[in-house]
Amino acid sequence: KAGVTQTPRYLIKTRGQQVTLSCSPISGHRSVSWYQQTPGQGLQFLFEYFSETQRNKGNFPGRFSGRQFSNSRSEMNVSTLELGDSALYLCASSLERVLIDRELFFGEGSRLTVL
Amino acid sequence: GENVEQHPSTLSVQEGDSAVIKCTYSDSASNYFPWYKQELGKGPQLIIDIRSNVGEKKDQRIAVTLNKTAKHFSLHITETQPEDSAVYFCAASPVFYAGGTSYGKLTFGQGTILTVHP
């Protein structure tokens, strides 16, 4: 069974540009969450989608947005990039059987460098 | 919101020794506490989790204990092996959020770099 797939794995952008990251969850998983990982702030929750609806959002500025498609694939977008947006962006999917299964399966991440 | 503190930030042990990592959380509504292991170049992977109605859970060489009164939980790894070397993260989460259910939001600790020397 394929794991969570994130593309691209590495990318370099300059300040002011925008970027779109893609995530394909494990087949059958309907919940997708996004996290930002940096050495200074650690793992921070960005947002969560379930059945194409944003279910929860972390404390990030409006430049960070996301969406989920009917096939559960998800994208996140960062506009007007800042140097501080350099990070590893992780996507996680979950089967989410209520009160039984809460494991998040993480992808290997998209490493974004902003110059 | 929830705040999770994790200690120590680095831990170095000899192969065969035990390793203990401790976390405290602030939100009494949290009732799910997973531990993730992250190897270099990979995403975090769940190694064990515990829910608030259980005080201890064990899986072979790994165990987690939870003290809800004191709001702390710990990861214990016995008979450590070099392949246990990685970054370990604790996390906490309530089941419900205002407006409904949200299982995908975890508040993570800062991580512990565990090095097991052969």
**What's the confidence (pLDDT) of residue B107?**
95
SS3 B34: strand
**What's the confidence (pLDDT) of residue A110?**
98
Enumerate the residues of chain A whose CB falls inside 8 A of the CB of residue B97. 56
Asked whether the beta carbons of residue A45 and residue B105 sit closer than 8 angstroms, the reply is: yes
More confident residue, B17 or B101: B17
Task: Give the range with max mean pLDDT: A51-60, B14-23, B97-106.
Answer: B14-23
CA distance readout (Å), A38 to A22, A86, A97, B10, B74: 19, 8, 30, 17, 24
Query: Average pLDDT of B40-46?
Result: 95
**What's the confidence (pLDDT) of residue A37?**
98
Enumerate the residues of chain B whose CB falls inside 8 A of the CB of residue A98. 101
Q: Is B109 on the interface with A (CB under 8 A)?
A: yes
CA distance A22 to A9: 10
**For residue B49, is pLDDT > 90?**
yes
The secondary structure of residue B83, as a DSSP letter, is: G
Q: Which letter, b or e, does each residue of B73-110 get, where b requires 16 or more Cβ atoms within 10 Å of its Cβ? A: bbbbbeebeeebbbbbbbbbbbbeeeeeebbbbbbbbb
SS3 B82: helix
Query: Average pLDDT of B38-47?
Result: 95
Query: Average pLDDT of B71-95?
Result: 95
**For residue B95, is pLDDT > 80?**
no
Residue segments in chain A with a per-residue pLDDT below the cut of 70: 1, 96-101
Residues B34, B39, B40, B44: what is their CA dihedral angle, to the nearest 10 degrees? -30
Q: Is B32 on the interface with A (CB under 8 A)?
A: yes
**What's the confidence (pLDDT) of residue A97?**
63
B73: nearest Cα among B30, B103, B102: B30
Q: Is B46 on the interface with A (CB under 8 A)?
A: yes
Enumerate the residues of chain A whose CB falls inside 8 A of the CB of residue B41. 108
Asked whether the beta carbons of residue B44 and residue A98 sit closer than 8 angstroms, the reply is: no
Query: Average pLDDT of B42-56?
Result: 91
- CB neighbour list of residue A103: distance below 8 Å, 6 or more residues apart: A94, A95, B34, B46, B49
Find the closest chain A residue to B95 by CA distance. Answer: A99
CA distance A28 to chain B (A): 16
Asked whether the beta carbons of residue A55 and residue B111 sit closer than 8 angstroms, the reply is: no
CA distance B118 to B116: 7
Confidence of residue B99 (pLDDT cuts 50, 70, 90): low
**For residue B3, is pLDDT > 70?**
yes
Number of H helices, E strands in chain A: 0, 11
Q: How far is CA B37 from the centre of its chain?
A: 9
Asked whether the beta carbons of residue B104 and residue A43 sit closer than 8 angstroms, the reply is: no
Residue with tokens 């989920």: A68
Name the phi and psi angles at A20, rounded to 5.
Answer: -125, 130
Query: Average pLDDT of B27-42?
Result: 93
Average pLDDT, chain B: 93
Confidence of residue B94 (pLDDT cuts 50, 70, 90): confident
Question: Which residues, numbered 87 to 106 in chain B, qualify as contacts with chain A under a Cβ-Cβ cut-off of 8 Å?
Answer: 89, 93, 95, 97, 100-106
* DSSP labels, A57-86: E-S--TTEEEEE-TTS-EEEEE-S--GGG-
